[in-house]
A and B are shown apart, each in its own frame.
Chain A
C-alpha cells in the first residue's frame, strides 16, 4: 500500500467506490481487472450466441437486419474475448499472484492503477462504439464513421492500458523479484507471464500502429485506403486469429503447471525442458507479421513458409508441455484424493483444448485442404480462446482467496467450468467440420457470403449454437459463483472489523 492508500484506508468516510477508484493496492486493481475481464467475456459469449443464432439460416437475415450488423457483433465477440476479456483477466492474476511468486511487490503501483483505469475507460468506449453502429468497420460500409472513430480511440486506450500494465508486471519480475531468485527459479505462472508480456508488448504496439493509421485516414475526409469502412477489420484481424491468439494461452499453461503441482504436491520433472518449451510457445505465438491486408499479390502471408512452419512447430511444443503436465499429475495422483480440486480438472481440460487448438491451427494452413478463411479459423479461435477462458477461471479460483478473500464456491465453479469446456469443444469441433464443408469464417446473411457450403452445415451450425449456449450458461454460473464469493468475503471482513470493534 502506498501512503495515499494508507491515508484513504484510515478515512472511514471513504465509500467502496472511492476506495476502488483511488486505490493503488494490487488486490483492488486485480478485482477491477478480473471483474471487468469476466464481464467482457460474458458479453462476448452473448454476441457469439446471437451470431450463432443468425447462422442457423444462412440464406437470409433473421436475428439482425443486415450483414453489416452481423459483422459488428461477430467482430465485437472477438474483440470482447481477446482485448477486453482474457487479457485483462490474466492481468488480474499478474498484478497479485505474480509479484508474490517473485517474492516482492508490484513495482510502480500508480502506473499499474493508471493502466487499469485507462483500460477500463477504453473498454467502455469500445463497447459503446460497437453499440452505436460503429465497431471496426463493416463489409458494406454502412456503419457510422464517428462511432467507428470512437471504437478505434477506445481500442487505442485499451492497448495503452494493457501495454502499461504489462510493463509494470515485466519490471516486477525482472527487477523486483527477491534477491537470489533467478529467472529459472520462478514458478511457471510468473515465468509464462514474463514471456507472454514480452510478446504482448511486442504485438500490441503494432496493433496500435494499425489503429492509428486507420484513425488518421478515417477522420474528416474520404478515406484513402486504411480508414475505409470495409478495410479496418482486415488490418487488425491478425490479433484475433492464428498465431497471435496462442499468446493468450501461454500464461494458462503456466497456471496449469502451477495448479497441478500445487494440488498434487509434486514438483515437475524436467523443469528446464518445460521452461524452454513454454518460452518457445511464446516465441511461436508472435503474430504481428501475419497481416493479410498488406499481402503482396500472389504471395499471401498465411501461405508463406514462416507461417506454415510456425503453425506446425507449435504442435509438438504444446504436446511436450501437456506431457509434462500429465506426468506431474500421474506422479502426484495419489495426493488428489477421491475428489480432485476443480481447478486441477479445469486446468487439465484447458491445456488439452489448447493442444487440440494448435492441431486445428496446423490443419488450416495446409494449402491443398484450402481451409484459409473458412470456419476452421473460427474453430481455432474458439478452442484456443475458450481454453484460455477456462484456464484463467481455474487460476482465479485457485488464487481466489488471495485476491478476494475466503468464500469460494467450488461446486458451482466446477459445474460452470465443465459446461464451458463442453461448449467450447462442441463449438470448436462442429466449426472444424463445417469449415471443411466450405462454410466461411464470417457467413454474412447470404449463401454467397457463407461460401456456398455443403448441405450438412445447417445441422452442424445448430450443434455449434448449442455449444455456445453451454459456454454462456457456464460463464453465468461462474459470474454467480464470483459474486457470491465476493459477498461472502466482504461479510467476513465486516464481521472481523465488528469483532475488533467490540473487543
Chain B
C-alpha cells in the first residue's frame, strides 16, 4: 500500500550540499593563491626576472604525485560505487586504497621539499610555492582523516546505499583536492 501514499517533496542532501559549499570556499582559497602566483609570475616574466633558479623544480616528483592522485580518483569512484551497491568489502578496500594513495602523495611531497634546495625565503616564488603546496598538503591530510573516519563507519556497517551522503561529500572534497593539485602540477611543476 506504500505506493498509494504521496511522497513528500525531498530536498537536496544536506551533507552533500554543505560539503559543496565548504569545498567551494576551499577552492576560492586556492583560487586566491593561484591568482597571486600567476599574476606575480607574469610580472616577473615580463620584466625578464628569473622566477625559479635553473633546475630547482623537478618534473618527476610533481608528475609522480599527479599520477598517484589520479589513481586515487579512480579508487574514490570505486568507493562511492561500492557504497551505492551496498558492497561493504569493496567499499573498505577502495577507501583504504584512496587513503593510502593520499598518504603516499603527502610522503612524496614532504620528501621532495626536504631535498629541494630552495629555501622558503629565497624569493617571492619560493614563498608562494611553499604556501601553495603546504596548503594543499593540509587539504589532502584533512581528506585522509575524513576517509579514515568513513572507513570506521563502513566497518560498523553505517555507510550504505540508504545512508551514503557522507561518502558522496567526502568524494566531492577529494575530487576537488585532486583538481587543485592538477593546477599545481601544470602551473608550477610543468610551467615552472
Contact = CB atoms under 8 A, between A and B. Distances in A.
A397 to B, nearest CB: 30
A205 B11 contact: no
Interface residues of B, number: 37
Contacts of A222: 121
Given A204-B25, A217-B127, A296-B43, A175 B17 contact: yes
Interface string A164-182: 0011101100111101100
Given A212-B33, A213-B127, A223-B121, 6 more contacts: A168-B18, A180-B9, A201-B21, A205-B32, A208-B32, A213-B131
A201 B23 CA distance: 10
A288 B33 CA distance: 12
A209 interface: yes
B21 A294 contact: no
B28 A212 contact: no
Given A216-B120, A216-B130, A294-B36, A176 B31 contact: no
Which residue, B9, B18, B39, B123, has most C-beta atoms of chain A within 10 A?
B18
A296 B28 contact: no
Interface in B84-100: none
Interface of B: 8-14, 17-18, 21-22, 24-26, 28-33, 35-36, 39-40, 42-43, 120-121, 123-124, 126-128, 130-131, 134-135
A213 B17 contact: no
Contact of A170 (B21, B30, B36): B21
Contacts of B8: 179
Contacts of A180: 9
B32 A209 contact: yes
Interface string A286-305: 00110100101100000000
Nearest to B122: A224
Nearest to A107: B14
B127 to A, nearest CB: 5
A226 B134 CA distance: 16
* In the complex, the 8 A-B pairs of residues with the closest C-beta atoms, listed nearest first: A209-B32, A206-B32, A205-B29, A205-B28, A171-B18, A175-B17, A201-B25, A179-B9
B24 A201 contact: yes
A297 B36 CA distance: 15
Contacts of A294: 36, 39-40
Contact of A174 (B12, B28, B29, B35): B12
A200 to B, nearest CB: 9
A206 B31 contact: yes
Contacts of A179: 8-11
Contact of B14 (A163, A171, A201, A223): A171
9 contacts: A167-B22, A174-B17, A201-B24, A202-B24, A205-B25, A213-B128, A223-B121, A226-B127, A289-B35
B43 A201 contact: no
A209 B120 contact: no
Identify which of A167, A207, A213, A222 gathers the most chain B CB atoms within 10 Å of its CB: A213
Contacts of B127: 213, 216-217, 224-226
A231 to B, nearest CB: 11
Nearest to B125: A224
Contacts of A204: 25
A282 to B, nearest CB: 15
Contacts of B43: 296-297
Interface string A210-237: 1011001100011111100000000000
A108 interface: yes
Nearest to B33: A209
A291 B12 CA distance: 36
A174 B14 CA distance: 8
Given A212-B135, A216-B127, A226-B127, A167 B32 contact: no
A175 B33 contact: no
Contacts of B9: 179-180
A216 B131 contact: yes
Interface string A184-215: 00000000000000000111111111101100
Contacts of B124: 224-226
A167 B131 contact: no
B121 A221 contact: yes
A208 B29 contact: yes
A108 B165 CA distance: 14
A203 B11 CA distance: 27
Contacts of A166: 21
A180 B121 CA distance: 56
A395 B70 CA distance: 49
